[in-house]
Structure 1
Amino acid sequence: MTLPTTMRYVDLPSFGGPDVMTMASGPVPAPKAGEVLVKVEAAGVNRPDVAQRQGSYPPPKDASPILGLEVAGTVVAIGEGETDYAVGDKVCGLANGGGYAEFCTLPQGQVLPWPKGYDAVKAAALPETFFTVWANLFQMAGLTEGETVLIHGGSSGIGTTAIQLAKAFGADVLTTVGSQAKAEACVKLGARRSINYKTEDFAEVVKAETDGKGVDIILDMIGAAYFEKNIASLAKDGCLSIIAFLGGSTVEKLNLAPIMVKRLTVTGSTMRPRTASEKRAIRDDLVASAWPLLDAGTVAPVIHGVFPIDKVADAHRLMEDSSHIGKIVLTL
């Protein structure tokens, strides 16, 4: 296969609102040692993309400045080194950047096969949320069968993935959402109780739903605005796992005593700065534990909206509006 020398991609000439993004033409990237080059058929849209567009989430120095952290498509070239994949394979993967383009390089340790029966849109909706949920909920917080977990933002891409995986591994799932429609969607996905934070106090509901014990783990993307109630909602030896700060990152006048009294763990992480070996370890766990669930149809991505790449501004507006349930995907 003869590859083109140029490709279309989403350019970010300046920071700002969705309309600062434009379609541009540039060189096709060459895969370095340990990388594969993918002809992109679909790319997922994620909140870090919005933050990068706004100027608050710069890419690592060695990453592509092009937006986009997850893609699905066909392997068209392979860099030096051993690989489990061959030219022609249908793959999806976690990109360090460069996903909003016709071609994207992926480190080999961040590449995954399409699950059985999947198309590009469904495959592109997997990597970012599955890497994030697996690393934070299972590897770091150690969720196990029989535990109770509270998942904030249950209707988001992260939330819909976390609900399904937690349920599949035998956890009791509670979640917070902002509307009745979102609450109903989360219950269908496996949540025992979906709490509307606009009309209910989630800490009070958690207390009632757990007979005063509290939950074992909280997966939180809100941050400061929920911190005190999160601490109050955790059971003894519980863990608060923070993955984003949609409600701010600074907490003032915080009483730390409950953390000591209940022997709590507070942890957090971001995915993009992790090393290649750390991401490979997450990928290997996903292949062993989560991909069989996708192959079997036990777990599946929830797709809310699909946009052609030249409508990327509309996709970002939908993400910022937060009215979606599940994932937003671009097609090329």
Structure 2
Amino acid sequence: MTTQTITATASGTWKLGDLTVNRIGFGTMRLPQYGAAFAPDAVPRDRDQAIGVLRRAVELGVNHIDTAAFYFSSRRSANELIAGALAPYSDELVIVTKVGPGRDRSGAWEAHARTPGELRAQVEENLRQLGRDHLDVVNLRILGTDSIAERFGALADLREAGLIRHLGLSNIHPHHLAEARAIAPVVCVQNMYGLGAAPEQEEVLRLCGEQGIAFVPFYAIAGKGREAGAVASEEGGVQAVADRHGVSAAQVRLAWTLHRGPHVLAIPGTGDLDHLAQNVAAGSLRLSEEDLAALSPAE
């Protein structure tokens, strides 16, 4: 499959509230550094290279950028790179960030923000870094199964104040979605998901589809590799489908997630221009019933 002229429009569109995005987006977690994300010895990525990738993504029709203030290496931050590459921002560009986790200046993880004041400080930090007066979408990323009412309510207050346009959730369990929706509208859910996902993640995907909420998988390509990236080996079914279409295994994994429903978006990240083109082109890959059966034999 040629990737030279395929753009993100081939993946179709979905709405995050009133914001229309192409279903293939771009995730910036790995953009500030080479190698594993968040590694204390991560080597900062060349700034010009990172900015070139962001600008090329937009040229290829990507209008959904995923970021966070805690995506940074010793000399690069994802938000700073986005601002340097894309500001002043197009009206069609949707930047989605997340709050909750925090890292100190050395990169060490801190306790999640839990109070309204702590969450507001993280929202304001994203605003400052991105050079914006409001954030398009803010996801509350959580750990555990306890109530999110106070934290989500604090973000809902910031939405009412005009600092945030839309709200989403990340890393949740099914009961969190109902809890949040009782407080304010939810436009997207970001959860770990891909081939071989746990039944609970299938349940979250289903609930989002029924309620018209975007489901945005993370680690859809990396799978068990998580922050370190994709594992070297591939299951036989994935590689067989890739060989049949003349594409990479990563493209098959992305295409499979998009086939899970029209509400499923993708935010693969890379610092490589060739991989970027391949990820965007995956939005045009149409898997047959035979392909889907080979990839999901239990269904």
Instruction: Assess same fold via TM > 0.5.
Output: no
- Relative contact order (alpha carbons < 8 A, sep ≥ 6): 1 or 2 greater? 2
Q: Which of structures 1 and 2 has the bigger CA Rg?
A: 1
Question: Which structure carries more helix by proportion?
Answer: 2
TM-score w.r.t. the length of structure 1 is 0.28
